[in-house]
Amino acid sequence: MTSEAKAPVVEGRGLGKTYRDGSQAVEVLRGVDVEVLAGRSLALTGPSGSGKSTLLNLFAGLISADTGELYFTADGQRHKWHLASQRERTRLRRRYIGYVHQFFNLIPTLTVLENVRLPGRLNVGNRLDARALELLAQFGLDDRAGAFPDVLSGGEQQRVAVARALLLEPPLLLADEPTGNLDAGNSNQVVELLFGAARESGVSLIIATHSETVAAQADDRLDLGG
């Protein structure tokens, strides 16, 4: 664990991404270098439109970079993320990456417990059902297990999303402005859960945020506004 803790989970060199709409092109990322070591946390900061979410989506393998190289290491294997097929990225993402979004974090047609169980069911069948219940209890949501998301508060929904992201104890946890839609109290609670759980289980955390308070809790910081 100790030797692995020093190896980078995510390693990017010269990453660039441009979006095109007809004749218009918007360059969102240019020449970004990034490295996140195992068990450490990184805050992505910068103004709106600076490419925080795009970079997170690159790490998640949801999109691919136009330029540069990106490597993702999981279970001791270093994957060439920039060369991997979409199918391969999907397979690795579902097993090794947890993702918490700002909005619409839960599947509305699944109950709270089913939402948390989902990554487990997608990967290892029902072997993590008990773990899902433990996480809900740990996050103070065990009494909401049978409820559908539409009756949950925003804070509760984000806590469920964090619980779900942690179910598989993935080596990489991505969070895209997870507190952007919450009041201060709920915001603190969710941030504590995220950072606490990441530290506790040795998970690497990359969090995109506007909040200086949140960014300050991270081990490292990458400002995309410059």
Partner 1 sequence: MLARALGRFVVRSFWSTAMAVLGIALGVMSVVSVHIVTAEVASELEALTPREFADLTHFLHQDDLSADEYFELRARWHRGAYPDIEFLTPVIDEPAVIDGQSVRVLGLDLIGGGFTRLDFTSGTADPRGVWVDDTLAGRLDLNVNGSIEAPDVVLADIGVAQQLLGWPADRLSYVATRIRDPIQEVKDYGEHLLPGLGAGWPETRPEVDLDDTWRLLSAQQQNPASQFGKSVLFNLSALAMLGVLVAWFLIYQVAVAWLRRLWPTLERFHLLGVGMTVLVSSFVLTLVTLALVAGVIGTYLGEWLAEWLFAQATGASGTDLAVNGWVLLKAFGSALFVAVGGGCWAVWRRNDTTRTYAWLTWFAALILVGLTIWGVVSAETGLAGAFLSIATLSVISMLIVRPWLEWSRRRAGWLKGPLLWVLGFRETVWHPGDLTVAIGGLGLAVATAIGVGLMVDSFRADFDRFLTQRLSYEVVVEGPKDALRVFSHDRARDNAETQVYREGEIRVGGVPTELRVADLNVFEAARYGHDGVLSASTVLVSEQLARTASLEAGDSFTVAGVTSRVAGVFPGFGDIAPRLVVDESHPLAMRATEVDSIALRHMDAGERARAGVAYPDLRFIEQTTMRDQALATFDQTFVITGILITIALLVAGIGIYVATTSLRLNRMASARLLTSMGVSSSENLGIDLARAAGTAGAALGIALPLGILFGWILCRVINPRAFGWTVELALNPAPVLEPLGWGLLAALLAGVVRFGSNEESQTAG
Asked if 20 touches partner 1 (CB under 8 A), the answer is no
In sequence order, the 6+-apart residues with CB closer than 8 A to the CB of 134 are none
| Residue 79 three-state SS | strand
109 binds partner 1 (CB under 8 A): yes
Point out which span in 9-17, 25-33, 119-127, 194-202 binds partner 1 (CB under 8 A): 119-127
Phi, psi of 93, rounded to the nearest 5 degrees: -60, -45
Q: Which of 118/152 has CB closer to partner 1? A: 118
Work out which of 7, 83, 107, 130 binds partner 1, going by CB under 8 A: 107
Choices 7-15, 20-28, 105-113, 184-192 (CB under 8 A): range interacting with partner 1: 105-113
Q: How far apart are CA 157 and CA 70, in angstroms?
A: 32
| Residue 104 found at the interface with partner 1 (CB under 8 A) | yes
Cα R_g (the chain), whole angstroms: 17
Give the nearer residue to partner 1 in terms of CB position, either 114 or 220.
114
Instruction: Indicate if the alpha-carbon torsion angle 218, 43, 136, 183 is positive or negative.
Output: positive
When binding is defined by CB under 8 A, the residue of 52, 93, 144, 159 that contacts partner 1 is 93
Backbone angles phi, psi at 5, to 5 degrees: -60, -25
Residue 60 is a binding residue for partner 1 (CB under 8 A): yes
d(CA 63, CA 54): 8
Query: Which residues contact partner 1 by CB under 8 A?
Result: 60, 62, 87, 90-95, 97, 99, 101, 103-111, 114, 117-119, 121-122, 146, 148
